[in-house]
Structure formats: C-alpha cells, structure tokens
Structure 1
Amino acid sequence: MSLIPEMQWLVGVLLTRSSRTLDSHSGLVTHCTFAPCRLGLRHIGLIQVNVLYFMADKEADVHEIDEADVNYQPPAQKSLQEIQELDKDDESLNKYKKALLGSGPVEIDPSAPNVQVTRLTLVCNAAPGPITMDLTGDLEALKKENFVLKEGVEYRVKIHFKVNKEIVSGLKYVHHTYRKGIRVDKDVYMVGSYGPRPEEHEFLTPVEEAPKGMLVRGCYHIKSYFTDDDKTDHLSWEWNLNIKKEWNE
C-alpha cells in the first residue's frame, strides 16, 4: 500500500527541512502537491513540486529508463535515526513519523539491500490461476519463461517489495515492451516513498486492458526496472508475455 498524501508530504519536509535552498535552475520550490496526468494510454502519477513542472520525455537506451532532462538534484538523504530525532516536540509531525516509520526499530540482516523486490503478479480475475514471478531467485531463468494473458482481459500489475533500513523516496516501476526486437510501448508508474518495516509493501497499478485482435496476439518481451529518484537500480529483470486468444490455447 502506498503512502497517503500527508505522509508523502512528511517525507518531502523531512528530507528538505535542513536544506531550504534548491537549485535555481530547476525552478522548484519546497511545497509538494500531487496530480494525475495521462501519457498515451497509460496513467502516470507525477509528483509536482509546488508549481507545475513539465517533464520532457527523453528516449534513452543507455539504461533504457526515460528521465527528465533537467538539473534538479534530489535533497540529500537523511538517515532513519536523523529523521527520528527531528522536531521531537512537534506533535503532528511525530504522528506522521510514527505512521511512516512504525513504533519500533526494524531488525534486518545488515548485508541485505535497503530495497528488495520479491515478486511481480499480474492480477486478473478472469485468469484460471495465479500469474506471478519470483524475483528472489534466478532472474536469467525468467527470460525463458512465458506468462500468458488472454486478449482483451482486464488486469493490474502488483509489485511486492521490502524496505529494510532507510526511507526511500520516489520509487518507480518502469517497463519497456518489445515485439520482434522493436520497442512498442513503455510504462512508468510512480510507486512513492516508503519507510522500513518487517512486512512487505505492495504497489498496485491502475486497471489496464490486454491487447485484442489477431494482429496483436503473440509474444512480447518486457524489460522491467525498479528504481528511484536517485536513479538507484534496485532490480532489473526481463520476462515474456504471451497474448493469446484463449487461456489454454
């Protein structure tokens, strides 16, 4: 479950409280709002920082993740302990910190990464069985597997992940879809900001409809990325999706 807007605001406040001067070239100031927008046939949730900030779509195949061509630099990351020590006398802020961070420390293997993506599920009520992939094992093996969707069905993508140590801001899920070696689509989903906790977090995309018709049936190769505002590559993997006329065709 993603954070409610007040918690998103808290993260912005906590991460920028000690550094109020932002890059003058970016045209950004400190107050955060949220607004939906539409890119092609996909919904993308964009975080807009006080003023409408138009992101230029930049086609880049270096790491195959589209980024805004701007000079904006994210605020310096604060440790979990630093955030817990901030403004202890502010009752409302403490309330949100407790909701975001929990009431106690999270015990975790020190060698574990801060963000662990554990699995991806295609949620489809019409499917004869679960459509899920384990992302903790051999990712190379996923390239040889084929996941099936019946044409025209409605589905959603669910990402399961854990945050182990520090708050992470601006998480996003990106996937590029290829057919016969040519990229035919891209999707960018703003996942949000999350704090550490023992349980997994889940992110669910809006409802989408699988392609339909003889011309669009067949195998699609998908390259997926789970990244954040700092362009950290938390996980990259590839998989195949078959669009078929019938589930068991």
Structure 2
Amino acid sequence: MSRQFPTASIDRGPTRRRRAHLSLNVVTFHDFYYAHMSAEDQDDFKPSSTPGYKLGEAKSADEYAKMDAEDESLARWKASLGIVPGVTGGDTSGPRVTVLTLELMSPTLPAGKAISFDLSNPARIADLKKTPITIKEGVEYNVRIQFKVNHSIISGVRYMQVVKRAGVRVDKMEQMLGSYGPHPEGKPYTKDFDPEESPSGMLARSGTYSVRSRVVDDDGEVYAGTSQITVRLLSLLTTCSRVVDWDWQFKLAKEW
C-alpha cells in the first residue's frame, strides 16, 4: 500500500515548453505504519513511564566512553555495558538494534524440542502469522530474546507483547531488556525474561491466540522483525526491508 501525494506541475516559463507533471507515489513506511495503526493498537502498546523522567541527549558509544573517564566506578559500569573507548559501533546509518531471535523456554519441553523464531528472516516472520505454535497448558515458561546493538547506546529498551483472542485483549507483558552499548567483539546479547505460567482448562484450550510483539526504547524507536515492503518512487518499484512489530499465533494443548 502507498500514500498518494498531489501531482506537482512544473511551468517552464514563457517559452511555453510543455509542462512536466511529476506524480509522486511515495510511502514513508514509519509514518504510514503508525498513522494507520488503530487507536486501540496504540493504546495496547503504550509503555509505562516514570513521571518527571526526561531523556538525555543522545550520544555515540565513544562519546559515552570518554565522559567522566577519571571515575573508576563509572568506568566499570560503562564497561559492563560494552562501552569502552574506541568502540564506535561501525555504521550509524541503520537501526541501533537488530532483534535476531525470540525463543520460548520451559523445563517441561521434551528433550530436543525448541520453539524459536528467526526474526532476521522476513519469510519466517510471515509464516508465524499462518502457523500457530503449540504451548502446553498450565506450565511455567519464559521468553528469551537475542539481539545485537549495532551502534550508539540503547537505553530503557523493553519487550512488549499483547495477546488477543477473538479480537479481545487477554494479556499484556512488558519486560525490560535494559541499557547496552555495542559489544566490543560485535557479539549479540541474550536476555531471559521473568517466567510466566500458561493458562489451563478446556476454555483456554479452545481457539487461537494472536500475539503482537514489539521491542522499543525510551525514544519510542521500534526494533523487531524485518518486513519486506514495496515502495514506488516516481515510476520505479523497489523492495526494501523495514523493522516493524511482528505477529504470531499459538494454541494451548495438553501436551507440547
């Protein structure tokens, strides 16, 4: 889908050259996505906030590393976030965070069975909407997320998850990832969230649950799966990737 902009006419002056009509059919995906998100969806993903809290000025990882360099305790804390002098995070033009995988962990999972979503694969993300996973009822499980910080410092990053059944919200989860800088060796980070217990009972087992997941920071920037979108620029069609929320489904059953 795209947003149609008005046609602009360029008059080339008294020489009465023919006018050139420039028709722009361009979509800015971030604006389009949020402009067309329903008010209900926006409310679902409204993050919790601390009254009076104000965001500080954004700085690069190297700038943070050089701040208060004489403070040893602060230096140790920054090092724990991967903030060390000379680490620039490479190319700063792309997203600060890439979410790689989301995995459901449970001590009750059969040996050798894993439930993992590859969020770097657009085709796999599309499949998540079509093929519900099965979660055993009444068991403890937790979400594990793997992500990579590409550049800069991320602050107040959280994982949010809204679960709906027949269009009605039945659960919402919001858990903090924390604050990180780019890993000195370029490695991804892994975060295990607090355990949850899956619903149980005959009523819980009936129907399919729809889930929308989001990773967002204090600036409101969303990091999640990669979606393929088509953009029309002038008369050209091009396909590109955009980081967006991702949707998946699950059913509850007596066994995994």
Same fold (TM over 0.5): yes
Shift of 1:94: 2.1
Offset from partner CA, 1:189-235 (integer Å, 9 cap, x none): 12211111111111111121111100111321000010011111112
Aligned pair partner of 1:62 in 30, 33, 42? 42
Aligned pair partner of 1:211 in 199, 207, 211? 199
Shift of 1:83: 1.1
Match for residue 187 of structure 2?
Answer: 199
Shift of 1:98: 2.4
Aligned pair partner of 1:77 in 53, 58, 61? 58
* Separation in 2, partners of 1:175, 1:216: 18
Match for residue 241 of structure 1?
Answer: 250
User: Percent of counterpart pairs with the same letter?
Assistant: 39
What SS is found at the alignment partner of 2:44? coil
* Separation in 1, partners of 2:191, 2:121: 20
Unaligned runs of 5+ in 2: 1-38, 225-244
Which amino acid in structure 1 is aligned with residue 194 of structure 2?
P
Aligned pair partner of 2:69 in 67, 83, 88? 88
1:133 and 2:122 matched: no
Which amino acid in structure 2 is aligned with residue 243 of structure 1?
L
Shift of 1:61: 2.5
* Separation in 1, partners of 2:88, 2:63: 15
| Contact kept? 1:106, 1:164, Cα under 8 Å | no
1:114 and 2:96 matched: yes
Count of equivalent residues: 189
Task: Return the TM-score normalized by structure 2.
Answer: 0.67
* Separation in 2, partners of 1:142, 1:105: 36
Offset from partner CA, 1:123-175 (integer Å, 9 cap, x none): 01212210111100122222112111111111111111111111100000001
What SS is found at the alignment partner of 2:148? strand
Which amino acid in structure 1 is aligned with residue 107 of structure 2?
N
Shift of 1:92: 2.4
Which amino acid in structure 1 is aligned with residue 253 of structure 2?
K
* Separation in 2, partners of 1:158, 1:151: 19
Unaligned runs of 5+ in 1: 1-58
